Amino acid sequence: MTEAEFFEQVLGIKEIRVDRVDWQEQSLHIYCGSIFEEALCPHCLNKRHVVHQTYERQFRDLPITGKEVYLHLSQRQFYCPDCDRHFNERFSFVDLKRTMTRRYERYVYECCKASTIQKISAQENLVWHTVNEICQRGARQEIDERPLSKVRVVGMDEFAIKKGHRDYATVIVDL
Ligand SMILES: [Zn+2]
């Protein structure tokens, strides 16, 4: 098994192949690309194979042996002659315009639930507002996924944020 094949197995992302890996002291940089020949046009849903241009996108992914992991994806932009439009190839493991894989965002969110945004931003070497955004988005998603029709009793209370301060937060709980 080559190093690239090994990392394909470690990552477990079926849509990408690994080209090369660059080890650094604190981080691991994995260069990868799509395994597909063609991509689906999101406008007409036809398969297209004419690549207009390729550029590199970088995402943070789950840590490996304590190192920060960065995926460097060769992102392809296709051309659809029927729609006369360009479109980016999409993947299930990352959303367009995001700089982190879905599973890494989930991981950061779960870490935040058991800690503070400040601690997790230091632990993950991420800026505070990025962690805060992930936290807000994760919480919204979790609330959206919860079947509200099953809630029977709601509890509501005010919690002081810090002793001696005048800040209170209203907490609504599904009892
Ligand atoms: Zn099209």
* 91 CA distance to ligand 1 middle (Å): 17
Q: Are residues 79 and 155 in the same domain?
A: no
Ligand 1 center from residue 37 Cα (angstroms): 16
C-alpha to C-alpha distance for 78 and 86, rounded to whole angstroms: 6
Neighbours of ion ligand 1 (CB under 5 A): 41, 43-44, 80, 82-83
Q: Domain residues for 134? A: 100-175
Q: Which of 99, 117, 146 is the last residue of a domain?
A: 99
Query: Are 142 and 173 found together in one domain?
Result: yes
pLDDT, tens digit, 9 for 90 and up, residues 36-87 = 988 989 999 999 989 999 999 999 999 999 999 999 999 999 999 999 999 9
Model's pTM, two decimal places?
Answer: 0.81
CA 89 – ligand 1 centroid, Å: 12
How many independent structural domains does the chain possess?
2
Tell me how far apart the alpha carbons of residues 95 and 102 are, in angstroms, rounded to a whole number. 7
- For residues 74 and 88, the answer to whether their CB atoms sit within 8 Å is no
Q: How far apart are the first and last CA of the chain?
A: 52
pLDDT grade, residue 158 (50/70/90)? Answer: confident
Question: Residue 152: which residues within 8 A CB-CB, separation 6 or more?
Answer: 175
